[in-house]
Amino acid sequence: MKKEAKIREIGIWEIAVLSLLRQSPMHPYLMRRLLRERHTDEVLELKPGSLYHAIGRLERANLIAAETRGREGKRPERTVYRITPAGEERLLEMLRQILAVPRHEASEFMAAMSFLVHVAPKEARALLEARCGVLKREIDERESAVALVRDRVARIHLVESEYLLAVQRAELDWTRELAKQIETGELNWDVEEILREAAREASEGPKE
């Protein structure tokens, strides 16, 4: 029996591969096509290298196995993979954990908010308004893309896009409101004064 390599934690790419193979054995090219058709690639940032890396990790861990290797006409040889019983067990284990327990994942934008005091209010408002413009375009494009496939793709395959849209709409509303508060003066700060105060605190050392 092939010894199973240990994967302490499988990521979303591995979960995507296991989920597809639980439906049916398939080769990587078909996996990529299905991910695009179901708009899962929007969440995964679909790149061929990431897909093949995940497949390699899962195969080494005996969570998937190569079933057949063949060639269709003049196309390159393709390997068809299947999920193993251990892979199915691990997939469901990880999905149950992720769905039930919120994880506080790092957000670049949230981190940037921690340092907003380094940008003057007028410039900060302009930058936030620019972000709103980008968010609005992305939301419009994603809504159009989902609408195009809604009649031929079951909704269960689109819920991740619905979630992403909900998150982006919430971020857009919050960012617009923050920019408005800066514009009206409800939220205001003095960068130079904040830096001077920080320098004083640093020179004084920790308080007893």
pLDDT higher for 92 or 7? Answer: 92
Q: What local confidence, expressed as pLDDT, does residue 7 receive?
A: 57
What residue spans define the domains of the chain? 12-100, 108-204
Full-model pTM: 0.73
Q: At what angle do helices 12-23 and 85-100 cross, to 10 degrees?
A: 130
Which pLDDT band holds residue 26 (cuts at 50, 70, 90)?
very high
CA pair distance 32, 91, nearest whole angstrom: 19
Structure tokens of 188? Answer: 């205001």
CA pair distance 150, 170, nearest whole angstrom: 22
Kindly compute the dihedral angle of the four CA atoms of residues 149, 151, 153, 156, in this order, to the nearest 10 degrees: 110
Residue 26 neighbours by CB under 8 Å, 6+ apart: 20, 34, 80, 81
Q: What local confidence, expressed as pLDDT, does residue 2 receive?
A: 45
What mean pLDDT comes out for the span 111-135?
96
The answer to whether the beta carbons of residues 42 and 142 sit under 8 Å apart is yes
Burial of 31 (0-12, 13-18, 19+ CB in 10 A): buried
Q: What local confidence, expressed as pLDDT, does residue 76 receive?
A: 61
At 80, which amino acid appears? V
CA pair distance 62, 69, nearest whole angstrom: 17
CA pair distance 144, 33, nearest whole angstrom: 19
Q: Number of H helices and number of E strands within the chain?
A: 9, 2
Q: What local confidence, expressed as pLDDT, does residue 23 receive?
A: 92
CATH code of domain 12-100: 1.10.10.10
